[in-house]
Amino acid sequence: MAQMTMIQAIRDAMRVELERDPETLVFGEDVGKNGGVFRATEGLQEMYGEERVFDTPLAESGIGGLAVGLGLQGYRPIAEIQFFGFVLEVMDSIVNQASRMRFRSGGRFHSPITFRSPFGGGVKTPENHADSFEGYMLQTPGVKVVIPSNPYDAKGLLSSAIRDNDPVIFLEHLKLYRSIRTEVPEEAYTIPLGQANVVREGGDVTIVTYGAMVHVSLQAADEILKMKGIKAEVIDLRTISPIDIETIAASIQKTNRAIVVQEAQRTSGVAAEVIAQINEKALLHLEAPVIRVAPPDTVYPFAAVEDEWLPTPSFVVDAIIQVLEF
């Protein structure tokens, strides 16, 4: 075991998978010699050579299409999109091509691709860097979408994503890259995709969340416990597509109340889908409507006003009080 940041854990997952499967390739803008703009691929080209870890021209669509083509010939591409705000340049390769390859060929071809990309607010990035565009991916049949919240999960989930024989979108929150250290095994391990994790147990209210909002929610859970003795259960979705509704429904059976916390704008992201599935699976256990904690439906804010725009623990506390007092 070693103490690792999330960026180190992500790098370690790629190291382990490059070692394990010679068909695995890592490529993108500045991922080679430079080791990535966030050091996520640091040293990998030195260890595995330019044939396995390489830089590409600056063209996201080209990167996505390259991954699809390499996937057709037996390679296992890990393609990096430098910031997920740039995904719109490569939407066709993800949404029309990789996601549909198995389906449209009746299983003859598939796309064992992992698209890695950083996103997320709180670090004052310039425009088009921090946007939470995971909702677009959620609405794409044929892809899985993973968003880890800590180093241990990041490594295990990324290994699973890479080994998955269908496309996985792996989104890495910028604020979490270096803000937490946890124990991470140096050997390979996997965490199944599609399984949420109860990161804090409690019997009074369920908080469903993912990404950086897991930590905001945990702080809120501390505060509400101190303030009112309320015990909140916090569920980290980890995979946002498919959603692990069983874990959420089981929690609500116990707590009878739930909120969903996300960094994406109110009508974007995952919250609406979580609430719809709760209605289908756990309505009769609810004592109050499920409400969302999410930023307003503006464009992602200017850096100078980011901290006021993003959900804070006090927003979450207010929402908990609202569902408790309903």
List, by residue number, the catalytic residues: 129
Residue placing its CB nearer to other proteins in the complex, 112 or 156: 112
Pick the binder of other proteins from 37, 42, 72, 312 (CB under 8 A). 72
Torsion of CA 299, 303, 306, 308, to 10 degrees: -110
User: Which window, 6-14, 239-247, 287-295, 318-326, contacts other proteins (CB under 8 A)?
Assistant: 239-247
Cross-strand partners of 116? 80, 170
| Number of amino acids touching other proteins (CB under 8 A) | 41
Kindly state whether residue 96 participates in binding other proteins, applying the rule CB under 8 A. Answer: yes
- Strand stretches in the chain, DSSP E: 2-4, 24-28, 53-55, 76-80, 114-119, 144-146, 168-173, 182-184, 197-200, 205-209, 232-236, 239-241, 258-261, 291-293
Question: CB of 109 within 8 A of CB of 69?
Answer: no
- In the bound state with other proteins, the residue whose beta carbon lies nearer, of 18 and 293, is 18
Segment contacting other proteins by CB under 8 A, of 67-75, 171-179, 222-230, 254-262: 67-75
Nearer to other proteins, 56 or 132 (CB): 56
- Regarding 194 and contact with other proteins (CB under 8 A), the answer is yes
Site for other proteins contains 279 (CB under 8 A):
no
3-state SS, 184-197, equals ECCCCCCCCCCCCE
Q: Pick from 246, 88, 36: which is nearest to 45 by CA?
A: 36
| Contact status, residue 188 vs residue 16, Cβ threshold 8 Å | yes
What are the counts of helices (DSSP H) followed by strands (DSSP E) for the chain?
12, 14
**Shortest distance (Å) from residue 254 CB to other proteins:** 21
88 binds other proteins (CB under 8 A): no
Residue with Cβ nearer other proteins (47 or 58): 58
Contact between 65 and other proteins per CB under 8 A: yes
**Binding-site ranges for other proteins (CB under 8 A):** 51, 56-57, 59, 61-62, 64-75, 92-93, 96-97, 102-110, 141-142, 164-166, 194, 242-243, 245-246
